[in-house]
Amino acid sequence: MKRVKNIWESFLTNSIKSRKKENNWRTRNSIQMKSSTKIIFKNQEYISFSGNDYLGLSFNEDVKNAWKAGINQYGNGSSSSGHIVGYSEVHRTLEEKLSQWLGYQEALLFSSGYMANQSIVFSLMKKRDSIFADKMSHASFTEASMLSQANFKRFAHNCISSLHLLLKKHSGKKNLVFTEGVFSMDGDFASLKLIHEESKNHNAYLMVDDAHGIGLFGEEGKGSCNVFQIHPEILMIGFGKSFGICGAAILCSSKMKNYLLNYSRSLIYSTMMPPSQAVALLESLRQIKRSNNLRKKLKINVEFFKKMTKDSQISFLSNFSESGIQPIIVGDNQKCLELSKFLFQNNIWVQAIRPPTVPFGTSRLRIVITANHTFDEIKKLVYSLRDFFDQNEYKK
């Protein structure tokens, strides 16, 4: 018994040492959100450029009041799986509104985007099937793909010729192509039009994870697929970003929904999201549809950030995107942590993102510009970045 305990203690100790040695150790900080752009930590206020609340709806008064009204009407929780008594009328209404908005036959609610992505893989993809995912795809999908019985291959980031070769090699089989609409760590758009055409040419289904595009781009915020005028067979949208809440939905055909209702173990054996949350999400959806001014403000803020950084001639800031996600790819873990700490000392909160979240050698600060940031806050961020790089002889 003692020897077994020592094996476990050694495993834990060595694993922790390894992460710390690589400057890859992670901790969590208990913070208080004052607003969508302000954080209180140990009685100090910080400007946050790390959250994904792109439109500020997490603090929207109408959304908050909707959730309160939902609690008064439906209580705090759903009490069970949706397959027992957890699925309510308001859940059904939310699914109907989402499917109508995005032009699908059906929508299916999940408790998280992670669960939704994993459910698709584990429910649909079997032995002798193939999954082809963009190399920069989210961990929720790639992890499930690696653990599934299906053949899993990654194509080079946004590279249609790489995808073409994979599809051609596995032609005539049940193939699923996966990409994000807007990539979570780089902020760039997928080449959705070309990926969609390539998938159709080889009779493969296309799945798009648009967690970072929905609500922000396209008509009424319908997302990146609307921008490129495509209709993938499976669309995943997250509620933890522009919706300002949490959870997710899969948009699909009626046949696909019925299949998932019967084969998705994560759906069947998980407690349904609270009805009160669905009430709040309905209000978030209403806000998103009419939030053209917020989307314009986000675009203005992103352009202002780009101009400020270009004028400041910061060499590390050349990986601009059209979204609110603006990465500063430093490369080295330690340097990345030093930059994050420097900003923290200037009351700016930007987390260092390191492997395995991003590829080795691409550690970065993932700056997120939102519609609610002010020009003065963006200026402070850029001037602080400039001061850091002026004081440190880092070369890209």
For residue 302, give the H/E element and its range: helix 292-312
At 220, is the secondary structure helix, strand, or coil? helix
Laid out side by side, the sheet with 348-349 consists of 32-33, 38-41, 44-48, 348-349
Kindly tell me the burial class for residue 232, based on how many C-beta atoms sit within 10 Å of its own C-beta (0-12, 13-18, 19 or more): buried
Separation between Cα atoms, residue 115 and residue 248, nearest integer Å: 8
Alpha-carbon separation of residue 120 from 9, 125, 266, 268, 312 (angstroms): 37, 8, 10, 13, 45
Alpha-carbon separation of residue 257 from 99, 108, 276, 385 (angstroms): 12, 7, 23, 47
Kindly tell me the burial class for residue 387, based on how many C-beta atoms sit within 10 Å of its own C-beta (0-12, 13-18, 19 or more): middle
Pairing assessment for the beta strands 348-349 and 44-48 based on DSSP bridges: parallel
Strand intervals (E) in the chain: 32-33, 38-41, 44-48, 106-110, 130-134, 151-155, 175-180, 205-209, 234-238, 248-252, 325-331, 348-349, 352-353, 363-368
Cβ-contact 386, 312 below 8 angstroms: yes
Kindly tell me the burial class for residue 238, based on how many C-beta atoms sit within 10 Å of its own C-beta (0-12, 13-18, 19 or more): buried
| Preceding peptide of 356 cis, ω within 30° | yes
Amino acid at 165: L
**DSSP code at position 156:** P
DSSP per position, 258-296:
HHHHHH-HHHHTSBPPPHHHHHHHHHHHHHHHT-HHHHH
By annotation, the residues acting in catalysis are 52, 138, 180, 184, 209, 212, 241
Cβ-contact 153, 199 below 8 angstroms: no
